[in-house]
Amino acid sequence: MNIEKYDEIRASLPAGVRLIAVSKFKPAEDIALLYQHGHRAFGENHAQEMKAKHEQLPKDIEWHFIGHLQTNKIKYIAPYVALIHSIDSFSLLKEVNKYAVKNERTIPCLLQFHIADEESKFGFTLEECEGMLQSPEFQQLKNIAIHGVMGMATFTDDQEQVRREFHHLHQIFEELQSRYFLQNPDFKELSMGMTEDYPIAISEGSTLIRIGSAIFGPRNYSL
C-alpha cells in the first residue's frame, strides 16, 4: 500500500478526471486504509469478491465493477454497484437491466470496446454496438443508464500504439455521443488508463482512470 503514490497521482489529475482505486485481490483492510484517507471509489473484477467486501466495509463506498461479468454473477452486485464499466454484449446489458428492475433501481453502465490488438480483451466492435443502440429492444431497457465507454490498451512498451488505441476510443465515444446520446447528459465518461498507461489516457481525454498496482502494490493472484 503506497499512500504517497496515491497522493501523488491524485495531485496530478486534471479537473474532470476521477481515480478508481482498483482493489481486486487486495484485502478489505487495504481498502479501509484508503477509505480512512478519504477515498471512496473502488474497482473490483470478481462479483463475489466485491459482494464480500461490500458487506464488510462502509456503505458509502462507491463500487465500480471493471471485469468480465458473467450473467449468473450479476445478482451479487446489482443491489449496490455504482457503475459497471464492462458491458461487453447486448445479452449482458439485458440481464443487467433485469436485475436492476428486480432491485428497483437504475444501474449506470459503460460500454466496453475492444481497442487492443490482443485476442483476450473483451468488448464490442463499433458495428455491434451500433446494432444494439439502434434496436427497439435497447429502447425498452428502462433500468440501465449508459454513462459512456471503457477500453483497455494493448499491453506493450510502444507508447505510440497505446496513444493511438486511446485516441480511437475517444473517437468512438464522440461518434456514439453525436449519433445516439446528444440529448443525454449522462453519457460523459471515458474510462481508460491503468497504472502503466494512465498519463497517456489522460492526455487522450480519459475521465475515469482505474489504478491498482501503483497504489496497492503488485497483486498476488494465488490468494
Ligand X SMILES: *Cc1c(COP(=O)(O)O)cnc(C)c1O
Q: What is the number of the residue whose Cβ is closest to ligand X? A: 212
Contact call for residues 108 and 87 (beta carbons, < 8 A): no
State which of residues 23, 45, 97, 206 lies at the interface with ligand X (CB under 6 A).
45
Least Å distance, CB 103 to ligand X, is 24
Least Å distance, CB 211 to ligand X, is 5
Helix ranges restricted to H, 76-158? 90-102, 126-134, 136-139
* CB nearer ligand X, residue 185 or residue 221: 221
How many Cβ atoms from other residues are within 10 Å of residue 221's Cβ?
A: 7
Answer yes or no whether residue 148 interacts with ligand X by CB under 6 A.
no
* CB nearer ligand X, residue 141 or residue 165: 165
Contact call for residues 66 and 43 (beta carbons, < 8 A): yes
Enter the DSSP assignment of 89. S
Which span (6-14, 48-56, 89-97, 204-212) binds ligand X, by CB under 6 A? 204-212
Least Å distance, CB 122 to ligand X, is 10
Answer yes or no whether residue 190 interacts with ligand X by CB under 6 A.
no
Answer yes or no whether residue 213 interacts with ligand X by CB under 6 A.
yes
* CB nearer ligand X, residue 113 or residue 141: 113
Least Å distance, CB 83 to ligand X, is 12
164 three-state secondary structure: helix
Q: How far apart are CA 15 and CA 192, in angstroms?
A: 16
* CB nearer ligand X, residue 141 or residue 170: 170
Backbone angles phi, psi at 61, to 5 degrees: -70, 140
Q: How far apart are CA 56 and CA 29, in angstroms?
A: 10
Contact call for residues 40 and 62 (beta carbons, < 8 A): yes
Interface residue list for ligand X (CB under 6 A): 22, 24, 45, 66-67, 152, 194-196, 210-214
